[in-house]
Amino acid sequence: SLYFYKTDFVEKKGVNLTPDDRGYYFGDGIYEVFRVYNGRIYEQQAHMDRLQKSAADVRITLPYSLEQIGDILTKLVQLNELVEGTIYMQITRGEAPRAHPFPAEATPVLLAYTTEVKRPLTTIQNGIHAISLEDIRWLRCDLKTLNLLPNVMAKQTALDRGVQEVVLHRNGTVTECSASNFMIVKDNVLYTHPANNLILHGITRAVVLRLANALHIEVQEVPFTLEQLQQADEAFITGTTVEVTPVLTVDGSPIGTGQSGPVTRKLQLEFERTFA
Ligand code: PDD
């Protein structure tokens, strides 16, 4: 399976990463994870818009135009004959000896590859369990940067405690999860944290909110608390890799019936229709 690295499609051994890549020293870069369904890149334009925003706000000049990046990814999918899987793409600020200031002359480095990771059908069907955990990240969680140590730590805490995911909160207000957004349903109203600086503006989140509107499910993009979560009828996470996955318990307490709920089911069915 081929990689795209800097300027060329190469085998993995052709990826000549240097320790001077600022992604390695500082996590100084941005990324996107795309889903490929039936050989096609899902919601490509939304990912490109988000990439552009991340790049602008961390002041990385994209090494190619968005259109060229789109062409590179399409070519990568073709070359790798990818039908179902993901594309990982990152752009770091470039290569320079380790020093905090932006290097005067460094070319941003684009790395992209595909995986054949399948849809997590079992957890989509059966749901997952979660614990709540304080969200100790910075105040620009809307930027998709390579600095994922808090997310990695949070995920591992969940796994160490025998559950699959964390529900992050700031002073009791639920934000999102380690690599997905979080939604609850109460009295047939869908609630999720507003798309501000405290969460990643998930592509799947936006798709699900659009589908909810189409299904005449009322949507409230307002913050809610851990207590409100415990009183909710349903809960689920959304993300490129998890799609719409029910959350059955949080901190050991069942949400609603503790089973995947009817609104979640409806959204899952409708979601499948968007890429099928
Ligand atoms: N993560 N919130 C966080 C913190 C995320 O890292 C992600 C995605 C999401 C969901 O966004 P989207 O629907 O655009 O995938 C929310 C990717 C998949 C990752 O880091 O692997």
**Which atom number of ligand 1 is nearest to the Cα of residue 178?**
4
The distance of Cα 144 from the centroid of its chain, to the nearest Å, equals: 8
Ligand 1 within 6 A of 181 CB?
yes
Question: Is the CB of residue 182 less than 8 Å from the CB of residue 167?
Answer: yes
The structural domains of the chain, with segments of one domain joined by +, span: 3-115, 121-275
Q: What is the pTM for the complete model shown? A: 0.98
CA nearest to 204, candidates 169, 245, 260, 161: 245
Percent of the chain with pLDDT over 70: 100
What does the pLDDT average to over 166-192? Answer: 99
Judge whether residue 225 has pLDDT over 90. yes
Phi, psi (degrees; rounded to nearest 5) at 56: -60, -45
If residue 34 lies in a helix (H) or strand (E), which one and from where to where? strand 29-37
Give 276's pLDDT tier (boundaries 50, 70, 90).
Answer: confident
What are the backbone dihedrals phi and psi of residue 185, each rounded to the nearest 5 degrees, phi first? Answer: -120, 130
Q: What is the pLDDT of residues 13-35, one digit of tens each?
A: 999 999 999 999 999 999 999 99
Residue 160, pLDDT score? 98
The letter for the amino acid at 253 is: S
Q: 240 in ligand 1 pocket by Cβ < 6 Å?
A: yes
Among 175, 180, 205, the mutation site with the greatest number of ligand 1 atoms within 8 A of its Cβ is: 180
pLDDT above 90 covers a percentage of the chain that reads 99
Question: Is the distance from CB of 130 to CB of 163 less than 8 angstroms?
Answer: yes
Tell me what the pLDDT averaged over the chain comes to. Answer: 98
86 CA closest ligand 1 atom index? 18
pLDDT digits (tens, 9 = 90+) for 122-172: 999 999 999 999 999 999 999 999 999 999 999 999 999 999 999 999 999
Which CATH superfamily does the domain covering 121-275 fall into? Answer: D-amino Acid Aminotransferase, subunit A, domain 2 (3.20.10.10)
Question: Helix crossing, 203-214 with 262-275: angle to 10°?
Answer: 110
Topology at the third CATH level for domain 3-115: D-amino Acid Aminotransferase; Chain A, domain 1 (3.30.470)
> From the CA of 32, how far away is ligand 1's center (Å)?
8
Query: What's the CA gap between 47 and 32, in Å, rounded?
Result: 7
121-275 and 3-115 share a CATH fold? no
List pLDDT tens digits, range 36-71: 999 999 999 999 999 999 999 999 999 999 999 999
pLDDT digits (tens, 9 = 90+) for 77-103: 999 999 999 999 999 999 999 999 999
